[in-house]
Amino acid sequence: MTQEFAGKSAIVTGASRGIGRAVAQMLAARGAKVVVVARDAAGIEETASAIAAQTGMPCVGLAGDAARATTAEAAVARAVNAFGRLDILANIAGWYPTARVEDTSDEDFATTIASNLGASFAMCRAAAPALRAAGGVIVNMSSTAARFPTPGLAAYSAAKAGVEAFTRSLAAELAPAVRVNAVAAGPTWTETVRDLMEQDSTGAVQAVTASLPLGRLAEAEEIAEAVLFLASSRAAVVTGQILYANCGGHMA
């Protein structure tokens, strides 16, 4: 496997499971030194240990909420202190409760905005000086729900639309030193989706799968490949863009 990220260091949020873990694992497998961040202390310890064992690359774990300035600042400090620089920030952390607007509590709405948009903002603010010094890259995680209406995901859709607007504005603000892009993922096989399938007596998840032109959901590793492309030199002239990776579910 090519070592396209050799000599680079990265921070990946939401790395205790799913897409975040896949991004962290694949960056390390391709030569990057990684700081992994998530609220799940046991999960992030497991991720860091597995990456170090499987790739031989150093990996530092940090348990904390990426939406909090203290966590964001600590993650950047760990990357710079341990690895001497910060080249890549992958903001994968997020949360999406499924509830119609009239059934969504103030707390759930605030948590959804904070976990998706707030975490990206806090991490980007903390990481900007180090990324600027290294000529680095930011990749945020959006969703097709940001642009296309999905009943039951209004709060999540609003948060991800905010992520996309924030991504474009930050790309203009940090240019030319730092590139900023986002991946808008469609339905993806993660632990959360598998849990939903086990609880779904209506067949809604199967119906969504059948409606996709490619006839399947994405794998977490496939979404991670899109993140790694935007983080790599192969995307050297790409900034302020939203890359849709959704098995053709929405052709924008």
Q: Any idea which residues carry the catalytic annotation?
A: 156
| Cα–Cα distance for residue pair 24/35, rounded to 1 Å | 8
Report cis status (omega within 30 of 0) of the bond before 176: yes
| Contact by Cβ (8 Å): 38, 91 | no
Query: CB count, 10 Å around CB of 31?
Result: 16
Q: How far apart are CA 188 and CA 141, in angstroms?
A: 13
Half-sphere exposure of 34 toward its Cβ, with a 13 Å CA cutoff? 33
C-beta separation of 62 from 74 below 8 A: yes
Amino acid symbol at 147: R
- Counts for the chain of helices (H) and strands (E), in that order: 9, 9
